[in-house]
């Protein structure tokens, strides 16, 4: 049976622990605060990367994504995906010359600009890589695993792009001189 004094002493250690955790600065990830309301998607919105990026942008509830060429000049910003490259590199073979290990790589180049041509984010290349062991006897399952790894890398890159978009500062528009002078 636990006495009231023992119950109190057992709970006493939780107070400094709780105070320490509340002061660590932990905060749940929130939706970014984007400085633009409309974004022209200058990339294929039907590619796997384009679909996921568009879904994340629309999921914020703060950005309208436009893809019609006539809307480009009206958008607040233009997101250019300049390249997406998927590679498989053999990094290990056995004594018989069969592939034992692959390295999967995904590289995405992108930039953000205004319709006037001002670069908000200079062209950046984001890269991800994963190692994948390989056996001929499990080729089908390894192909499925490879697809999952590419999707995971793609998700990581989309999240990096979203964080970079949230950090953008739009250039201030020049203030027109007032018509009346003192």
What is residue 56's predicted lDDT score, i.e. its pLDDT? Answer: 95
Q: Which residues pair with 87 in a beta bridge?
A: 105
DSSP assignment string, the chain: ---HHHHHHHHHTHHHHHHHHHTS----------S-SEEEEES-TTSHHHHHHHHHHHHTSS-EEE--GGGGGGSSEEEEEEEEEEEEEEEEE-TTS-EEEEEEEEEEEEEEE-TTS-EEEEEEEEEEEEEEE--GGGHHHHHHHHHHHHHHHHHHHHHHHHHHHHT--PPPPPPPPPS---
What's the rounded mean pLDDT across residues 129-157? 92
Over the stretch 19-28, which tens digit does the pLDDT of each residue have?
665 667 665 5
Q: So where are the chain's domains?
A: 28-166
pLDDT at 170: 77
Q: Specify the CATH class of 28-166 in words.
A: alpha beta
| Mean local confidence (pLDDT), 145-167 | 95
Gap between the Cα atoms of 179 and 108, Å rounded: 48
Comparing 28-42, 85-99, 156-170, which segment has the lowest mean pLDDT?
28-42
Q: In whole angstroms, what is the distance from residue 65 CA to residue 83 CA?
A: 19
Environment class of residue 101 by beta-carbon count within 10 Å: exposed (0-12), middle (13-18) or buried (19+)?
middle
Q: Where does the pLDDT of residue 42 fall: very low under 50, low under 70, confident under 90, or very high at 90 and above?
A: very high
Give the integer Cα–Cα distance in Å for 111 and 67: 16
> What pLDDT score was predicted for residue 99?
87
């Amino acid at each position: 049976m636990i006495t009231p004094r023992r119950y109190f002493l057992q709970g006493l250690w939780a107070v400094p622990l709780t105070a320490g955790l509340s002061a660590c600065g932990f905060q749940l990830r929130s939706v970014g605060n984007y400085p633009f309301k409309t974004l022209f998607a200058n990339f294929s919105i039907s590619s796997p990367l384009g679909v996921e990026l568009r879904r994340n942008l629309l999921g914020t509830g703060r950005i309208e994504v436009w893809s019609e060429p006539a809307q480009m000049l009206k958008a607040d910003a233009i997101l250019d995906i300049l390249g997406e490259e998927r590679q498989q590199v053999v990094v290990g073979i056995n004594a018989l010359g069969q592939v034992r290990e692959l390295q999967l790589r995904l590289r995405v180049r992108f930039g953000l600009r205004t319709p006037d041509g001002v670069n908000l984010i200079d062209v950046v290349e984001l890269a991800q890589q994963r190692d994948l062991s390989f056996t001929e006897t499990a080729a089908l399952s390894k192909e499925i695993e490879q697809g999952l790894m590419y999707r995971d890398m793609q998700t990581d890159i989309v999240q990096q792009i979203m964080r970079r978009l949230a950090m953008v500062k739009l250039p201030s528009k020049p203030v027109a001189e007032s018509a009346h002078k003192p």
